[in-house]
Structure 1
Amino acid sequence: MEKDKKIKLGISIGDLNGIGSEIIIKTFEDNRMLEFCTPVIFASIKTMSFFKKHFKSAINFHGINHTDQIIHGKVNVLNVWKENVSINFGDEDVKIGSYSVKSLEAATKALKEDAIDVLVTAPIHKHNIQSDSFKFPGHTNYLAEKLGGKSLMFMVTPTLKVGLLTDHVPVKDVPNYITSELIHEKIDTVYNSLIKDFRINKPRIAVLGINPHAGDNGVIGEEDDKVLRPTLEQIKSKGKMVYGPYSADSFFGSANYKNFDAIIASYHDQGLIPFKTIAFGHGVNYTAGLNKVRTSPDHGTAFEIAGKGEADYGSFKEAVFMALQIFKNREEYEEYSKNPLKKAPKKS
């Protein structure tokens, strides 16, 4: 990529009744952000003008109808719809949810066609987006189908990275999902992401047990000894520095996580509760394993404070910078792969 060419950063608007519009506006009303990227919000100029007025923002939007009209140095708004939309902050509304889907679909199409370089998604409400034509539990699964690759929910900060073997599945079904094949797939995804996306040349990865105390030698469940532990031994024998399974209850409290470049949790809350306790407000949800870069903030729609001007935009801003950095890291990695005589990228 040419040095003077700004990265085109697509933004899906999320649930219009949530805090997505507020955190987007707060991030980009600082004109210095336009020195790093060219934002393209997939929504409508009418809707964004409503939000601008509501939040008494001085931000200036540039309305466009096609991606070939994107202008660098502007906060572009691509019109995905043109009708007026009735916004009721804090309400759970499936009609409003359909607009989050329209925004996401248009942004994903643009990303797939290289009309934008990266995607940052504002929070959606998982129930409000469900319909006969959209039956995905969230962004991650949808993007994996549309963009290709083996996706993984990767919660990241510069110093803490937590991936998941299983994400949005009921707790009672977790052991049924965790197979040797899945473990291989998820560890490979994390390992490759650490190298290509985060410039960590020899990653150290810890894996948390499925059961309390990693099963206590079969006393509290057999899955750790029969599935997880032997699979990790297979992976380790092939040269990857993968360790575990570790008992999850003390792993973060003892600060053991600081000894590793990434941690893989067996299920959603096992990984996300400690991550958000340590990093909430500046963590980023990154979809590793895709052939495109997608990030999002580490929080949801926050209906309880929507429209009040109280939303913290720190995590969204971090998601923007993370997407830009990963995009650049991937370019460097590809360049180095083609010409290995060049100096190898350093760890970020």
Structure 2
Amino acid sequence: MKNEENIVVGISIGDLNGIGGEIILKTFEDNRVLEFCTPVVFASAKTMSFLKNHFKSKINFHNLNNFGQLAHGKVNVFNCWNEPVKIEFGKEDQKIGEFAIKSLRAATNALKKGEINALVTAPINKSNIQSKDFKFPGHTDFLAQELDGESLMFMITETLRVGLFTDHVPVKDIVNHVTEELIVKKVNTIYESLKKDFRISKPKIAVLGINPHTGDNGVIGKEDDEVLRPTLKKLKENGKLVFGPYAADSFFGSSNYTNFDAIIATYHDQGLIPFKTLSFGQGVNYTAGLSKVRTSPDHGTAYEIAGKGQADAGSFKEALYAAIQIYKNRFDYEQLTANALKKKQQ
């Protein structure tokens, strides 16, 4: 479905015992959102009716069993299951994890078929989704298998973008993962995403060091000097505006990050702690490098407040808006590229 004017956004329901249902309802209670997209929540009519009644929502859902029944200007619910779901807010439940994966698989299948244009995923519990049929640390790894491309966790706001060389990797294993091949692959993925998804023609990318103080000339580690610096030098020689490595401890506090279109951190906490500190819950987790657009809020299931009506939908709304904008940017980029190729062949 390549229609820039009528973007269909699929939404996987996530962990039903968490805050996913609440933030979805809060997002679409504002009818103006339906002017920007046609949402499809992958769950069931009974499940969404329970959530609607619990949170006293006024949304009128349009139920569908196939995409021939899709209604624009409505909040659609695609029925992924018929059986009743026992929702107990705040409880970790293996059965609830199974429903989260049913929703994710159905939404991903629709994305692959082109029945939806982009996907926004509500938070899951990485523990209760594990089974003999689903052995992934989270959304990103699953989608990397299902969709073409090189996936990369890219945390974004309007003014800050942070990518990672490694994401869900134990700290003790990080240096073994950061190879020249990985660095080149991740830099290229972010570079292409900045051009295609964010319409930045000449991206400037900063890279944070592997060790404290980027190794202090080998005193605190040799990886920065032996692996990172030589690889960044080759990338610069190939025309990419890649700078670093920078000492991570002072990079954000000095506001140096404002001089770049994106920052690449070596590992999860090195990038996500400053990102989440600066974004104040308005950040978005974007999976860059895939053939399709997927975003999610930058928080988890928040069991401690689930079901209480206290959840802030800000990050989920930003994830929805980001998915719409990135899809539009990609659409425009592909059109421009196709037109340029056509002119060249004439």
Deviation of residue 2 (structure 1)?
A: 4.9
Structure 1 letter corresponding to 2:278: I
Residue number in structure 1 paired with 2:225: 225
Residue 148 of structure 1, CA deviation? 1.5
Give a deviation string over 1:221-254, Cα, whole Å, max 9, x none: 1111111111000101101000011000000000
Match of 1:56 in 2: 56
What corresponds to 1:239 in structure 2? 239
**CA apart distance, 1:335:** 1.0
Q: 1:10 corresponds to which letter in structure 2?
A: G
| 2:136 partner amino acid | F
1:87 alignment partner in structure 2:
87
Residue segments in structure 2 that go unaligned for 5+ positions in a row: none
Distance in 1 separating the partners of 2:49 and 2:209: 49
CA distance in 1, matches of 2:220, 2:95: 46
The corresponding residue for 2:66 is 66
- 1:118-197 superposed matches below 5 A: 118-197=118-197
Aligned: 1:98 with 2:101: no
Partners of 1:280 and 1:298 within 8 A in 2? no
Q: Secondary structure at the match of 1:340?
A: helix
Structure 1 residue aligned with 2:34: 34
Q: Secondary structure at the match of 2:340?
A: coil
Matches of 2:56 and 2:234, distance apart in 1:
58
C-alpha distance in structure 2 between counterparts of 1:67 and 1:141, whole Å:
27
Task: Compute the displacement of 1:29 (Å).
Answer: 1.1
Q: Distance in 2 between matches of 1:183 and 1:305?
A: 39
Instruction: Give the deviation of 1:321 after TM superposition.
Output: 0.6
- How far apart are the structure 1 equivalents of 2:23 and 2:74? 17
Instruction: Work out the CA distance in 1 between the residues paired with 2:67 and 2:233.
Output: 49
Change (3 A) 1:210 1:114: same
- Could you give the per-residue CA deviations for residues 36-86 of structure 1, whole angstroms, max 9, x where no partner exists? 100000000100100000001111111111122111111000110111100
| 2:115 paired with 1:115 | yes
Which residue of structure 2 aligns with residue 9 of structure 1?
Answer: 9
How many residues were matched structurally?
A: 341
Equivalence for 2:322: 322
Contact 1:211 1:221 in 2 (8 A): yes
2: CA distance, partners of 1:340 / 1:315: 37
State the match for 2:75 in structure 1. 75
1:254-299: CA deviations, max 9, x gaps? 0000000000000000000000000032111000000000000011
In structure 2, the residue matched to 1:334 is: 334
Query: Are 1:204 and 2:204 counterparts?
Result: yes
Is the CA contact 1:90–1:304 (under 8 Å) kept in the aligned structure 2?
A: yes
RMSD of aligned C-alpha atoms? 1.1
Corresponding residue for residue 259 of structure 1: 259
Given that 1:9 and 1:116 are in contact with CA atoms closer than 8 Å, whether structure 2 keeps it comes out as: yes
- Find the aligned partners of 2:168 and 2:280 in 1 and give their Cα distance: 19
TM-score by length of 1: 0.96
Bigger mean CA deviation after superposition, 84-93 or 61-70: 61-70
**Distance across 2 between alignment mates of 1:280 and 1:122:** 18
Which residue of structure 2 aligns with residue 345 of structure 1? Answer: none
Decide whether the 8 Å contact of 1:89 with 1:306 is kept in 2. Answer: yes
| Local SS of the residue matching 2:163 | strand
Identity of aligned residues (%): 70
Moved >6 Å (runs of 4+): none
User: What amino acid does structure 2 have at the position aligned with 1:293?
Assistant: V
Q: In the TM superposition, what is the alpha-carbon distance from 1:341 to its structure 2 partner?
A: 9.8
**TM-score normalised by the chain length of structure 2:** 0.97
